Amino acid sequence: MSASLDSGLPRPSQTTTLRQRLGELRGPGTAPRALDARALAALAANPGCRRRALLDGAGVDKAALASRLGSPAPFGQSQFAIMRGNSFEAKVKADGGRELLRLLGVEEPGAVSVPDLAAAGPQGRTARTALALREATAAGTWTLLDHPLVALEVAGSPVYLEPDAVVVSPDGRWTVVEIKSFPMIDGAADASKVGAAARQSAVYVLALERTAAVTEGATVAHSVLLVCPKDFSNVPTASVVDVRKQRSVTRRQLARLIRIEEIADALPEGTTFDVEGCSSAELTEAVESVPHAYAPECLAACELAFHCRARAREAGAVETLGRAVRGELGGLTTVDAVLAAARGEAGDPEDPAVAALRRARAMRQEALDRASAPSEEAGACR
Amino acid sequence: MSLISALARMEAVESGRAQPLATVRHRHVSARPLVLVPLTTAGEAGAPLGALVGTDAEAPRLLVVTQPRDRDLRFSFLADLAEEVLPYVDSFTDVVEAAERSEVDPETGKKVKVEVELCADAPQLIVPSRAGIEYVRLLGRSTRFRRTAEQDPETPFPAPPRVPLLGRWLTHYGDRALVPGSSLLLAATDLLNRHWATGQSSLEDQHLGALLAWIDPRDGESGPEGALRAEVGRDERGQLLCPPAGPATDPAFDNRLLAPAIERYDRARLALGAAEDGEAADAGLGELHRAEREVRRLVASQLKPTWDAVWRALGLLRELPVGARVEDRWTRDRWSFTGHRDRVVAGEPPQPRRDDVIAAASKLANRERAQGQLEAQEALDDPLVLAARRLAGEAFAAEVAEVAMAYTEKNRPRPLLTVRTEDRPHLAEKAKVFRSLDGKPQAAEFVRYEEDGSLVLRLLDRMGRSKEPAAGSVPEKGERISWTLFEHEQRVGPKLPEPEDTPWTHGGPPAPGSAGGTPRTDAVELPDAVTPEDVL
């Protein structure tokens, strides 16, 4: 295990300075945003992006930022979906948690305690959650924690995470519960959605493990309970999802992240992403001062994707066409360079990538010419 | 992505226009396809919101569920959809031609040819996007197990009569769409993406509006400009200029326009229910109709642009000359259609929720075979596809430099060809290569490299029975020929074992006494359990 994940929260002095610095970046009087499901998906989609890392680490409201940059995020949630999601979650957690335990396979749980986790501020809520987890583990009864708040250190700064629920069993085992409103039809749900839910849950498992490490008798289950509506009804059904793989992938990604301090230190003096207090031009400049690593996968996960895409296209980066494109292009990174090499205007013909491009272009041209020779319209574009 | 298609994408970036990825059309496009543009309600599995459906670009039928949470309204939507789809399907079932199929005679165990019917054409269903194909499958799953009052008088919420049959057809089409190269159910985005490369990534290519902006731009607009407008452009009310191709709607549309309209409709229904006298009832009815018209207008406003885009896509595809082997794949689709027609007529139960192991194994084998066949056929039909295979070393174009006659010990002709090529095929000793001779593959084997780099091939077959090869069966000097290292026709893999020989890995032989001796245990599927609070 990497030191950054096992050493608990960083030492106070270090935390204070970094926290101060991140607070300045976020803008005065702005509360940090918790790392929500989308931010976690963005982390999984593009762990190497410094821009995303810094903005998420500082808890900047990326959606507001994207609007100010002139490329508003295309994400939104339909009120129909929210309504349905809420009513489904309420149904799952009904009856004092007994329904949920039944889904977990516990028919006779005895008394189920559902502690109140309300507290002021994210730090207060995390502390309250940790206390409740300790008490529940010591009590040896079934406990349901509804929307606990846990902290995880990502790239050297703590971020807050809110799982839908955590169940503590009498033997001290903590299980993450993820409630989703996509259906499980005939026992199978959409694989990409299950994958996203598993990655998300794996981060919760990692965060809980840190708390469990300092709690006597506690273990964190490496399988999570995914609760979905059954078929076309809103009757809940559940499936135990093994997230060991996602957990170790995420842990490795987190351990390899460039530390946010480093990214922050490389910024020009006085840089801030204060959405309230800065002009659009200032914000644009601030965002440009952190390098991005745009890939088309960002479009589904990051609020800034359209902004970064426009920049990447301006620069002619080949990644705008998909990450896989890079594979065969060797050292050529821009569209212009690739096309020039293919046409023989530039590039070293000894370079295998350049040679392959030239052959590819010649063959493509030959095929198109052949097709357009007998009938004019055959090779035309429309 | 192959290097050639990556190059095409970059050429598209440079020119701002899509570039061809194919020189012929690789999919069948029916003369009379049925286009279906469905919309669904956010957050609800299989609760349709509306659809445009029809075979005439100018006259689509609009179906709208004014309150998606109302079971009766949903059922009447499905009944209306069945009334559009099933007559279309039925119009193909009776036009048949005679065909032959080999079957195993149950008494002698020998293969015999039997005369069977094959539908002369098959219905083709076109949806806007891949998500639309998924939705067809979902609709099929949600309706095929429904029970009508006639099937089961006790059923608490009987479905309209033809709805379960609609579900069976949609299921069949959804299933067939998983077979590579099949054209029964196609997505407009897949059709376009097969034939053109845009200057964006394949993820962005799933957006029908953006895709068309690259392939068929409006006057004076470049591909990226048009695509961006299609992706994020909004009007003064915050609504997308190019509504998503569905089935999911834009959240801004749901929240700003649709939700208030549905609420108004709900209020009008309540008011009508509470009306105490005739005058109030009349007024209530008027308001209900107005509210209903408004929801219909809104849903139509989201559907119509996509409807037009699908037909535009079909128009673009029709301009391409059709590939020579497309007809062969369409014939397989016709067999598939005919087979399901026969199963429906024979009164077989709806497709099971899950395939049993044997059905699953044979479906997988079928799809793998279809994939291999598709790859080979596309390369043979289209020099541009072949170019990618040549670049990968799986094919080569060569000029015949010399032909030397040679014979086997039994005096069969085995001419040696010396051919010159610029390509770099991955040839091992005695590797087989194939060329297309009058549409049939002719095989040769690789003998050796000559000192000047040219290849020596030995022709192996298709030269007739006599000592002298049949006219035209041996290439002549100077001829330019494309050879492939892959076979042109997929070999049929080993047959799956008989049901009674099913290995234990696949559940073993069927239990004695089960229906028809087949291992299908799920012959009778129960309908989905229905509870009063169910949304669907």
Other Cβ atoms within 10 Å of B273 Cβ, number: 10
b/e burial code for range B225-263 (CB count within 10 A of at least 16 → b): ebbbbbbbeeeeeebbebbbbbbbbbbbbbbebbeebbe
Domain count of the fold of chain A: 3
> In this predicted structure, what is the pLDDT of residue A380?
35
Q: Is residue A318 part of a domain?
A: no
Sequence-distant (≥ 6) Cβ neighbours of residue A33 within 8 angstroms: A39, A59, A60, A61
Rg of chain B, C-alpha, whole Å: 28
pLDDT in tens, B336-361: 999 999 999 998 889 998 888 888 88
> Who among B43, B224, B319 is closest to A377 (CB)?
B319
pLDDT at residue A11, as a whole number: 47
Cα separation of B93 and B138, whole Å? 24
CB A22 within 8 A of CB A264: yes
Q: Do B203 and A299 touch (CB under 8 A)?
A: yes
Within this chain, do residues A111 and A133 fall inside the same structural domain, yes or no? yes
Statement to judge: residues A84 and A206 lie in one domain: yes
How far is C-alpha A88 from the geometric centre of its chain's CA atoms?
Answer: 24
Question: Both A344 and A234 in a single domain?
Answer: no
**Same domain (yes/no): A205, A234:** yes
Please provide the distance, in angstroms rounded to a whole number, between the alpha carbons at the two ends of chain B.
Answer: 41
The span from the CA of A296 to the CA of A218, in Å, is 41
Identify residue B133 by its one-letter amino acid code: I
- CA–CA separation, A270 vs A25, rounded Å? 8
Q: Locate tokens 């700003």: which residue?
A: B256
Flag whether A50 is in a domain.
Answer: yes
- The CA radius of gyration of chain A, in Å to the nearest whole number, is 25
Q: What is the pLDDT of residues A171-222, one digit of tens each?
A: 999 999 999 989 999 889 999 899 999 999 999 999 999 999 988 889 999 9
Q: Is B522 on the interface with A (CB under 8 A)?
A: no
Q: Where are the beta strands (DSSP E) in B140-228?
A: 185-187, 196-197
Reduced to 3 states (helix: H, G, I; strand: E, B; else coil), residue B516 is: helix
Contact B185, B133 (CB under 8 A): yes
CA of B84 vs chain A CAs: smallest distance (Å): 24
pLDDT at B535: 43
Tell whether B10 lies on the interface with A, counting CB pairs under 8 A: yes
Asked, for residue A58, whether it belongs to a domain, the answer is yes
Q: What angle separates helix A121-139 from helix A191-213, to the nearest 10 degrees?
A: 80
A307 and A351: one domain?
no
Closest CA to B202 of A68, A128, A320: A320
User: Which tokens go with A1?
Assistant: 């295990």
Q: How does the average pLDDT of chain A come out, rounded?
A: 86
The last residue of a domain, from among A223, A254, A285: A254
Q: What is the DSSP string of A179-193?
A: E--S-BBTTB--HHH
Q: A53 and A260 in contact (C-beta within 8 Å)?
A: yes
Q: Which B residues, 15 through 54, put their C-beta within 8 Å of a C-beta on chain A? A: 17-20, 23-24, 41-46
What is the H or E stretch that residue B38 is in? strand B34-40
Taking only the tens place, the pLDDT of each residue in B249-267 is: 999 999 999 999 999 999 9
If one counts every other C-beta atom within 10 angstroms of the C-beta of residue A51, the result is 22
Residue in A with minimal Cα distance to B25: A378
Written as six digits, the tokens of B324 are 């020579």
On whether both A107 and A148 belong to a single domain, the answer is yes
Domain annotation covers residue A83: yes
- Do the strands B61-64 and B196-197 form a parallel or antiparallel pair, or are they unpaired? unpaired
In the stretch 38-77 of chain A, residues with CB closer than 8 A to chain B read 71-72, 74, 76-77
- Spatial contact of B148 and B159, defined as CB atoms under 8 Å apart: yes
DSSP H or E stretch at residue A159: strand A157-161
pLDDT at position A381 over 80: no
- Decide which of A224, A254, A284 is a domain's last residue: A254
Question: Å from B94 to nearest chain A CA?
Answer: 35
Amino acid symbol at B144: R
- Alpha carbon B161 to chain centroid distance? 28
pLDDT score for A374: 56
Q: What is the pLDDT of residue B107?
A: 78
**What pTM did the predictor assign?**
0.90
Find the CATH number of the domain harbouring A139: 3.90.320
Q: Looking at chain B, which residues constitute the CATH 2.40.30 domain(s)?
A: 383-484
Parallel, antiparallel or unpaired: strands B34-40 and A165-168:
unpaired
Tokens of A289: 């001062």
Question: Which CATH architecture describes the domain B383-484?
Answer: Beta Barrel (2.40)
Burial of B219 (0-12, 13-18, 19+ CB in 10 A): exposed
Q: Which domain holds residue A154?
A: 79-254
B211: its two tokens: 């895709």
Average pLDDT over residues A364-378: 72
Do A144 and A237 lie in one domain? The reply is: yes
Chain B 288-347, residues with CB within 8 Å of chain A CB atoms: 316, 319-321
* Coil/strand/helix, residue B51: strand
A67 lies in the same domain as A86: no
Q: Which residues of chain B have pLDDT under 50?
A: 514-523, 534-536
Question: What is the pairing mode between strands A112-113 and A142-146?
Answer: parallel
ipTM value: 0.86
Q: What is the pLDDT of residue B531?
A: 56
Q: Of how many residues is chain A composed?
A: 382
- Place A95 in a pLDDT band, splitting at 50, 70 and 90: confident
Rounded CA separation A325/A333 (Å)? 10
Write out the H or E segment, with its range, that includes residue A17. Answer: helix A12-26
Placement of tokens 């609420």 in the chain:
B263
Residue B434, beta-bridge partner list: B443, B484
Q: Which of B7, B196, B320 sits opposite A361 (nearest CB)?
A: B7
The answer to whether A57 and A154 are in contact (CB under 8 A) is: yes
Residues of B in contact with A335 (CB under 8 A): 10, 13-14
